[in-house]
Amino acid sequence: MMPKNCGGDVYVEQLVLLGKALADPCRVRMLRLLAEGRGCCGLSPLNTCDLDGLYVCELQDHFNLGQSKVSYHLKILKDAGLVRETMRGKWTVYSLAEDAARDSLSLLQRQLKLD
């Protein structure tokens, strides 16, 4: 049985969010899709050269999920710091937060003393 209080280590909390984000196959697939960018599924480039993310409706179509389910998964990925959202007019574009993803993996490696 786990102790009730495992300490308030901020790194542990960050790793728990990472674990939660990666615990669902759909979220892992979303991350892979966001990492590949718009070219992943034959989507045309956005008109903004510095933006390579996907809209919720595109994720809905790709995964055959409703808007609320896609938004739910994106929130968990955002909470873990793995996904970035950028406003484009009234629409939101989602993309992989590459630096944060690298930092999370590095944190996991350090915490498990895998250096």
Total domains in the fold of the chain: 1
Among candidates 112, 114, 95, 97, which has minimal Cα distance to 11? 112
CATH number of the domain that residue 77 is part of: 1.10.10.10
Alpha-carbon 68 to chain mean position: 16
Domain annotation covers residue 6: no
pTM of the model: 0.80
Q: Find the length of the chain.
A: 115
Domain extent for 26: 11-108
The token pair at 67 is: 């808007």
Domain annotation covers residue 91: yes
Domain annotation covers residue 34: yes
Domain annotation covers residue 114: no
Domain annotation covers residue 25: yes
pLDDT in tens, the chain (115 residues): 444 555 557 888 888 999 999 999 999 999 999 988 776 666 665 555 446 789 898 899 999 999 999 999 999 999 999 999 999 888 899 999 999 889 888 888 888 887 6
A 10 A CB-CB count for 80 gives 23
A 10 A CB-CB count for 56 gives 18
The angle formed by the CA atoms of residues 35, 41 and 47, to the nearest 5 degrees, is: 80
Domain annotation covers residue 39: yes
CA distance 84 to 92: 10
Helix axes 10-22 and 25-36, enclosed angle (nearest 10): 90
